[in-house]
Structure 1
């Protein structure tokens, strides 16, 4: 087992803080929310780590893309997630939460989109990106957005960009997306329509 990094300093209070901010991000798509209660488990961004610490437990399967880090770094990350979240690592098709790099080509159809009877069984895709101040400009509309909102999500791979603009599944099916850059997150749930501006 690799060296274990400490989790939240104030376990309950910090996880509640992060949960409120993640909820705000999901209910107000395109809003930047800061998660600043943990420096992150390398090689994950601080925000990515805090999303997993807050939302994952023994009943949520996590998929980690091999493109996130080298084998040794992924082994250390796996040990930390197992210790702090007790969440099992699974293949993409079984994931409740999947962590990928924003510039990698991702087989989006591999992840669970939910069913018409149980749409909440979909996967939440956590995408590490290189910032929210560059890259293409996207126009968001839908629930939680008054009129529209413009966001930048960094430089994303064609497969992620294509899914944003033209998801293969119609609501209520689909993936919920959380973009992470440093300590900041932007959420784009499946209810949001995304267009290139």
Structure 2
């Protein structure tokens, strides 16, 4: 018998709370929000990314795991059992992509960006970071942001700024990003733009 870490103690209440936190984060881009969870998933899957996956994924929403997560069979077993989701072999097949190593994340172009007719058929990236806090490393404007807002995130790919610009240029297509650090999340929907960008 394979030992499997538990999921939500109260699946209905906890998944609703995580879903609500996620929606609030998307409604207020680049604004860190608390995300409390008691999950203890197998490493290197973080509790916050696990909570997001358990609340968002299901049998109709395939998951893609980055190389670091995919290398741990316990992670796949945990997510498969608790979500019922299938696993995408390539990034562009995924509804949700779980990224534990942002520096090695494929380019946003590798993921589904939807179409003009169906922009919702895109991938949402759930990205684990060490630092997520108000700051001025990246400054954003757009819907849900009053004037502008700054956010510090780390670690990130060296070309993250260029990838954000290219993603915003695809609007209404493009990927959405949800970042998770210990105890908090922040979102960057595709409508968010770096300050100073057209």
Using structure 1 for the length normalisation, give the TM-score: 0.90
Runs of 4+ in 1 over 6 A off after TM superposition: none
Q: 2:53 matched to which residue of 1?
A: 52
Q: Quick one: distance in 1 between partners of 2:46 and 2:14?
A: 17
User: Deviation digits for residues 141-176 of structure 1, max 9, x if unmatched?
Assistant: 101111110110113112433212332752100000
SS in 1 for 2:104: coil
Q: Quick one: distance in 2 between partners of 1:115 and 1:139?
A: 27
Q: 1:170 matched to which residue of 2?
A: 170
Is this contact kept in 2: 1:165–1:195, CA < 8 A?
no
SS in 2 for 1:178: strand
80-89 vs 177-186, which moves further: 177-186
Supply the RMSD in Å over aligned alpha carbons: 2.1
User: Deviation digits for residues 51-107 of structure 1, max 9, x if unmatched?
Assistant: 1000000001100011347x3xx2001001111001011121201101122222523
Is this contact kept in 2: 1:108–1:160, CA < 8 A?
no
Is this contact kept in 2: 1:108–1:159, CA < 8 A?
no
Q: Quick one: distance in 2 between partners of 1:160 and 1:142?
A: 18
Deviation at 1:136, TM superposition (A): 6.6
Q: Quick one: distance in 2 between partners of 1:2 and 1:140?
A: 45
51-60 vs 156-165, which moves further: 156-165
Q: 1:18 matched to which residue of 2?
A: 18
SS in 2 for 1:23: helix
Map 1:1-197 to 2 at 5 A.
Answer: 2-41=2-41, 42-68=43-69, 71=71, 74-90=72-88, 91-100=90-99, 101-133=101-133, 137-167=137-167, 169-195=169-195
Segments of 5+ residues of structure 2 without an aligned counterpart are none
Using structure 2 for the length normalisation, give the TM-score: 0.89
- Matched pairs, number: 193
133-142 vs 56-65, which moves further: 133-142
Is this contact kept in 2: 1:2–1:75, CA < 8 A?
no
Instruction: Indicate how the Cα distance of structure 1 residues 122 and 151 shifts in structure 2: closer, same or farther if over 3 A, else same.
Output: same
